[in-house]
Structure 1
Amino acid sequence: MTSKQLTNDADWWRQAVVYQIYPRSFADSDGDGLGDLQGIVSRVPYLEALGIDAVWLSPFYPSALADGGYDVDDYRAVDPRLGTLADIDQLVDALHAANIKLIVDIVPNHTSDRHAWFTEALAAPKGSPARERYIFREGDGDQPPSDWDSVFGGSAWAQTADGQWYLHMFAAEQPDLNWEHPEVRADFLQTLRFWSDRGVDGFRVDVAHALMKDLSEPMPSQATLPRVSESYGLHPLWDRDGVHEIYREWRQVLNEYDPPRSAVAEAFVPASRRARYASADGLGQAFNFDLLQADWEYDKFRQVIEENLALADQNGSSSTWVFSNHDVVRHATRYGLPKDPSGLWQDGKAWLLSNGTEPTVDVELGLRRARAAVLLMLALPGSAYLYQGEELGLQEVGELPAANLQDPAYFRSKGAEKGRDGCRVPIPWTVGGLSFGFGSGGSHLLQPKWFGGYSVEAQEGDVSSTLSLYRKALAVRRGLQTGNSLTWVDGTDWVLHFTRPGGWQSITNFGVAPVELPDAAVVLSSGPLEGDKLPSDTTAWLI
């Protein structure tokens, strides 16, 4: 098995295991109830022991937290509640000393309404240059320029004191930037250099498909807008071809460094459109959320894997695999939900968990499938993205009281949507204590009593724990992962079986009855075997 070393290889990201940290919910060093950078620094030994290759750090910039930090006041500063630039430098050094890369979130579609540019725009008169950095339009009296809806519900337009309207595809506190403006483009190139110069190894690009927009008159009505998945560049707001000119400029900057800085696009677009975001002269890689959205079924998983490996091969990138993140219901919970004909529960929609009891979750089934899923995912060619707490088998916290909710989706929908807070509850480190080891002053989102049983402390000495499974899997993967290919081994219609170079085999049983294992040594399994048989909802690695 090869040792883990921080590499200058330009292609390090192609097969990397990346661990997402939502900084406000990871570890709190000063007891204010909010996670911070020094808290993360203190847990670097834990991350090193886990065996990851990189950390993806969600926004840590100054923010009013109108959208969990994705409303950014200043792209080249740190929220003082989370730390300082010196703390970021210390985190980079600590991670690099542990042979772990750092990827940071960049949010280019919108700023916060407290950003210096937007403050200047509101203070300036209509038609002034300051307003040109954003998207201001005249409406019809009290009616906005169009009837477009924001992602978080309600109108996508907000009115200013002087009667103009500005576009916000998310919360009203997140005004959209005008990416036709040269100052906007130049400023973000400066931001890329700022963080790259500080040792950051890559960038995760938030809503990468939203930057370019067509607001020519007459604006189409909401009812006539095409579905993004079917628009193929024709939607006025999403996935327009002009966005790739922006990312070609970004790639030129990222390639100034040795090794070149990596980038991955969050782009909710059809698979055939995803390739351009992941091109070598663009961002280089794009998130593939297809497994996250797939039901726990043999046919769905095989189709997703085949299609995405083919796409990655066509454009010379590598695929990404992910089951959970800060925007969706944790997959250990999703996989324990009853079958939903609409597919929305499996689509990760957090607001469908309206409370702690509806819909009913089979916790044992969900965890068994989640353990099987991660072994399958880690056996695939490409990079794997993990979300903090999934290595503990954490369930979604569906019982948060309304008074503790923070997600704008909950407020803008007037409570119709629960929002994403249930997957953002601070993770448990210890069996007991005020906040299960998160910090000395409680936690900004309430942790349930059952959290202690999922804590790092509870699982450390248990060789059968989910934490132990992740650690073993990542260590074994490092010695086996090679190349960008797999070969299917066809058999029954409910057993997903493939081989990798070097004789590595991964077998997942999606059926209800145990199946015979091949005559080979079992390296690791997601659950107990039944003699020489693989039980239902279980994955095994063999060699």
Structure 2
Amino acid sequence: MATMQWWQKAVVYQVYPRSFQDSNGDGIGDLPGITSRLDYIKQLGADVVWLNPIYQSPGVDNGYDISDYEAINPEFGTMADFDQLLAQLHQRGLKLMMDIVVNHTSNRHHWFIESAKSRDNPYADYYIWRDPVDGHAPTNWGSFFSGSTWTYVPARQQYYLHSFAVEQPDLNWENPKLRQAVYDMMNFWVKKGVDGFRLDVINLISKPTDFVDGQPNSGEPYADIGPIIANGHRLSAFLQEMHTQVLAGADLITVGETPNATIKDAQQSAGLTTNELNMVFEFEHMNLDGNSNPALGKWNDQPVNLVDLKQSLSKWQTGLHGKAWNSLYWNNHDQPRIVSRFGNDDPKYRVISAEMLATMLHGLQGTPYIYEGEEIGMTNAHFTELSDYKDLESLNAYHHLVDEEHRLSSTQMLADLAHMSRDNARTPMQWDNSLNAGFSTGTPWLQVNPNYPQLNVQQTLAESNSIFTYYQQLIQLRHTNAILTTGDYQLLDADDGAVYAYLRTAGTQQLLVICNFTAHDQVREYDQLPSDVQRLIGNYIDDQGATLRPYEAKIYQF
């Protein structure tokens, strides 16, 4: 492999600003709050901080509906607060990755307000407008957030496209003036000194040239828009233009969120020589525990099948090796807590299963992402009432599947939300056992997980063998052991439904990663392992060789 780039050796820590630290008692996390916790992130050992959107926004989709790209949401602070945060990050040797949304804006963005007025103003073609067809919406496409993707505006006598909420109109990337406006906005932040971008649903920006109906799922009125608009014919051209206009020469870290992306798509978008993005977030391994009924989408409360998980992750490891770059993640603001989802959040197993999952992921090739609270083993909130939830996707799904379609009972849907809702990731960071977990002196915007008195940063840092300490060790391995960055990957025992084991090899050096995904002892012997091998890291104090205890994980080097 060619010379390693800094972002290939880096570890990224994701901060969801609304839920990280409130500094002024209004119940909403803010920029000064993040600044006050930078030493904690530095102590962990991360290299990059990824901030979810902090721009001016009505907050319909928690900041992913941007009304002004170059202004800070007053809930989070001021531009001076941002400048201070950036300076303090850089002072500690940390880099900042901004989260931007350029597939759509808020319907309160001045571009859209002007565009909606008429068909002949300077912003008329900044969005995707279509005439009615036989008095109805142009197509039968269904939004990611339920319902039609089309909304009618009488002033234009046309419908506009919104892949997500009604309040999130899609931008028209076929318009070169729009594209230039996007690049100018990105360069505004580059000039401020930011170190990279996470690009929300970036592979949706190239829409089809023909707007035709799709095939709905059985019994559904709408066709799933994802496969229709993802990875469009001009995506590479747009990303290469973005690279030329913004990214080239700036030495930035870039990651694109790419739903419905294939290995081939990722080889292009995150190719080592394609001049597009550094890496992409793929979703395949995060969709394995979705409902077997397509009409129910992701809403399910069943565990993932380990054989399927191994197959998916292995495909991406081998498919991108030497051609493109992987991003490695379990958690983010859109995914429930991994220890509750793929591990075991029972107090007896929470710590070791969280460490096992961390070992499995950080042993792979790619850039690891740690989501706030993952490093202390934060769990799903296990909310029991619909009123506990704030997430637009969750609330829309409940009303659609329970109230309108009667596909699920209220009891089952609440169980599915407790397992899969995005709000599980968005409960406030648990800093200590004081009021509201030390997050805020006011009423938090989303209630704190009830387990915070027993599970918090203060308690974790006081423990000698904590999840936090284990993450520090894994990060140190990423920084010092070249095999983790450069080595190739080989899955062992693909059909083993209890243990995930794989080899990483670079020249004559090898790592063997072994992870027990069950609460039961497993006995496994691997032919590749010399008798005198030494354990590099493990989540049990001692090593019992072929006997794997519940959720045991270890890495051998030889």
Is this a same-fold pair by TM over 0.5?
yes
Q: Is the 8 A contact 1:382 1:484 kept in 2?
A: no
Report the equivalent of 2:71: 77
Query: Matched residue of 1:151: which SS?
Result: coil
> Is it true that 1:273 corresponds to 2:274 in the alignment?
no
Measured in 1, the distance between the counterparts of 2:283 and 2:87 equals 31
SS in 2 for 1:223: coil
Identify the match of residue 374 of structure 1 among 343, 351, 358: 358
The TM-score with structure 2 as length reference comes to 0.83
Counterparts of residues 397-416 of structure 1 (less than 5 Å): 397-399=381-383, 401-415=385-399, 416=401
Please point out which of 59, 84, 88 is paired with 1:90.
84
1:120 corresponding residue in structure 2: 114
Q: Are residues 1:282 and 2:261 paired?
A: no
Indicate the larger mover: 176-185 or 220-229.
220-229
Greater shift, 267-276 or 220-229, is seen at 220-229
Q: CA deviation at 1:488?
A: 4.1
- The aligned counterpart of 1:320 is 327
The corresponding residue for 1:244 is 236
Q: Label 1:86 to 1:527 Cα distance change in 2 as closer, same or farther (>3 A).
A: same
Deviations along 1:215-274, one digit per CA (max 9) or x if unpaired, are: 535x22453998788x6xxx3x2211211111001111344434x222111112122222
Moved more, 208-217 or 459-468: 208-217
Contact 2:146 2:396 in 1 (8 A): yes
In 1, Cα distance between the equivalents of 2:275 and 2:307?
Answer: 34
Q: 1:208 to 1:127 in 2, by over 3 A?
A: same
1:176 CA drift (Å): 0.7
Q: What TM-score do the two structures reach when normalised by structure 1? A: 0.85
Give 1:49 shift. 0.4
How big is the shift at 1:472?
A: 2.4
1:57 paired with 2:51, answer: yes
In structure 2, distance between residues paired with 1:363 and 1:127: 62
Select which of 482, 485, 488 maps to 1:486. Answer: 488
SS, match of residue 65 in structure 2: coil
Given that 2:9 and 2:478 are in contact with CA atoms closer than 8 Å, whether structure 1 keeps it comes out as no
What are the Cα deviations for residues 304-351 of structure 1, in whole angstroms up to 9, with x where unaligned?
343223332352x321111111111111111258xxxxxxxxxxxxxx
**Which residue of the partner structure matches residue 534 of structure 2?**
521
Residue of structure 2 equivalent to 1:541: 555
Shift of 1:302: 4.0
Q: Which runs of structure 2 are paired with 1:72-471 in the superposition (5 Å)?
A: 72-122=66-116, 124-140=117-133, 143-162=136-155, 163-214=157-208, 216=210, 219-223=212-216, 235=228, 237-258=229-250, 260-268=251-259, 269-279=261-271, 280-293=274-287, 299-315=307-323, 317-336=324-343, 362=346, 364-365=348-349, 368-399=352-383, 401-415=385-399, 416=401, 418=417, 419-433=421-435, 435-471=436-472
Counterpart Cα distance in 2 of 1:173 and 1:290? 28
Residues 176-214 of structure 1: CA distance to partner in whole angstroms, max 9, x if unpaired? 111111121001111221111111111111101111112
Deviations 1:52-101 (A, max 9, x none): 11111110001111001000011122111111222222222211222221
What one-letter code is carried by the residue in structure 2 that aligns with 1:522?
A: R
Percent identical:
30
Task: Give the conservation status (yes or no) of the 8 Å contact 1:291–1:322.
Answer: no
Distance in 1 separating the partners of 2:490 and 2:459: 38
SS at 2:118's partner residue?
coil
Contact 1:333 1:363 in 2 (8 A): no
1:160 and 1:166 in contact (8 A); partners too:
yes
Change (3 A) 1:164 1:414: farther
Q: 1:449 aligns to what SS in structure 2? A: coil
Structure 1 stretches lacking a partner, 5+ long: 1-8, 338-360
Q: Aligned partner of 1:463: which letter?
A: S
Matched, 1:496 2:504: no
2:74 aligned with 1:67, yes or no?
A: no
Counterparts of 2:225 and 2:105 in 1: how far apart (Å)? 23
Describe the shift of the 1:238–1:381 C-alpha distance in structure 2 as closer, same or farther (beyond 3 A).
closer
User: Which residue number corresponds to residue 340 of structure 1?
Assistant: none
1:357 is matched with which residue? none
* Corresponding residue pairs, total: 502
Which stretches in structure 2 are left out of the alignment for 5+ residues? Answer: 289-302, 402-412
Structure 1 residues 402, 304: closer, same or farther in 2, change over 3 A?
closer
Alpha-carbon RMSD across the aligned residues, in angstroms, is 2.7
8 Å contact kept, 1:24–1:36: yes
